[in-house]
Every structure is written in structure tokens, then in C-alpha cells.
Amino acid sequence: MLHYNINHLAALTLVACLMAPGVLAEPLPNALTHGGQLALAQRILTQTVEVRRRQPPPPHIIQPGDPAVLGRGWLAAPHRVVTASIMTAGWPSSDGDIIEVRVGDGPWVAAAVGLMDATAGFAVLDVEVPAEGLAPWAELLALGPGRQLFAVGGALPADVRVGLRAAGEQAWYWTLIAPPLAPGTPLFDGEGALVTLVGLAGPLALPTEAMEALKKRSLDWQPQ
């Protein structure tokens, strides 16, 4: 059974960032105006989808409540959603192991894992969902300490700040000035361009090199 305690991981992230030397303990002012944040929030909302995985419990085990694991993903192309590979590890583990995607307030739609790169930490789902106004890719080298990123967060986008360098040539720890973010949540710059996803190599890092790997394998996953 796949387990991912989002609240616990978010707490670890915040503590790691605030205690590590050289990391911004005080958030920088938001670089966008209120109107700019509202417009960005709408763009982000069209690019962010919900991902849900439901696995049957082992024999003779009763699980209270809904055992589904919830995450998010980036609507990368028509019928293609990119998420964190932790959402798809070992799929399918049984006949009842189901991955689903939902766009906005639409219905949950069954998805299949078309490509998974556990080293880079991403997975590409094949799913029959519409895709319009796709986000461009951000410049990968423009990531560094203090950089402001944004994620889906309601009327205003969630505010994420890049902090200490983590493992990997272009990986960074991050400070979340918002509710916890689920694995696979896409992070955008102030122009609405995709930078990376949460949880590609772990809950505390933003490995932008994983996005470079995703680009290089575009012929493997983008619709022809």
C-alpha cells in the first residue's frame, strides 16, 4: 500500500528550510500585484489537475475511511498528465489498483501509466481529458535562492520560495507560505510558465533537472 503523509512532509519541509544556514527565514514581499495574482491563479488552475490512486487493502485487512492517495499533476499535452512517480510506484499492484485524473470540477477519469522514470521522479499518465492553453516551459537555469514560485491555491496562488541547494545540480529546498502541497503539484513562475513539480525526487527538493529529463524524452510521451 502506498502511503504519503502530506501534512508531515510539509512540516519537515518548512523546518528544514527555516533551520538550514543560508536559507531565507523571512519571506520576501510578493512580486505580483493583487490583480496579477488573480490572473495567474486562473492560468495555474487550468494547468493543474487532481490525481487519485486507489489500491485494495491486503486480504483480511479493513481500512477505515477512504484509503485513496491524493496528488496532483500538470496537464502537459492532450491526453497527457505529468505527476510525481511516487503516485504510480508499483502500478498496477492488483486488479483493483486504479489511478484517476480529474480536471477542474469534472468527473474522475481512469488513467494508465504510459511512462515512468523513477530516477528523475516523474511519471506520465495517458488519460482522456481535454487540454487547452497549455503552459510553456520556464527557463531551468533561472532557479535559485529566493526565487518565487506559485502553485494552485484558490483565489490567489500558493506562494513557494526557493531556499537552500539540495542534492542534484539544480535541486533546491523550498519554503511553503501556503497550505501543504500534494505530490505532483506543478510549480510555475510569475509568467505562468512551468518550472517543476513537487515531490519528483522527494518531498523536500525541487529537482529541475528532472524536468530537463522530461523534455529530452518528449518523443516518448507526447502525442504524435
pLDDT of 90 higher than 70: yes
Give 44's contacts (C-beta < 8 A, 6+ positions apart): 150, 151, 152, 157, 186, 188, 192
Query: pLDDT for 49-81, tens place per residue?
Result: 999 999 887 776 666 666 789 999 999 888 999
Q: What is the CATH number assigned to the segment(s) 6-17+31-44+135-221?
A: 2.40.10
CA distances from 53 to 69, 97, 152, 208, 209 (A): 5, 7, 20, 25, 26
Work out the average pLDDT over 3-7. Answer: 34
* % of the chain with per-residue pLDDT over 70: 68
Quote the CA–CA distance of 150 and 206 in Å, as a whole number: 13
Mean pLDDT of the chain: 76
Domain with CATH 2.40.10.10 in the chain: 49-56+67-127
Can you give the pLDDT at residue 88? 94
Work out the average pLDDT over 145-151. Answer: 81
Say which CATH superfamily domain 49-56+67-127 falls into.
Answer: Trypsin-like serine proteases (2.40.10.10)
Quote the CA–CA distance of 177 and 55 in Å, as a whole number: 32
Quote the CA–CA distance of 50 and 147 in Å, as a whole number: 25
Quote the CA–CA distance of 168 and 84 in Å, as a whole number: 17
pLDDT of 14 higher than 50: no
Q: How much is the pTM?
A: 0.78
Which three-class secondary structure state does DSSP give residue 22?
Answer: coil
Can you give the pLDDT at residue 70? 93
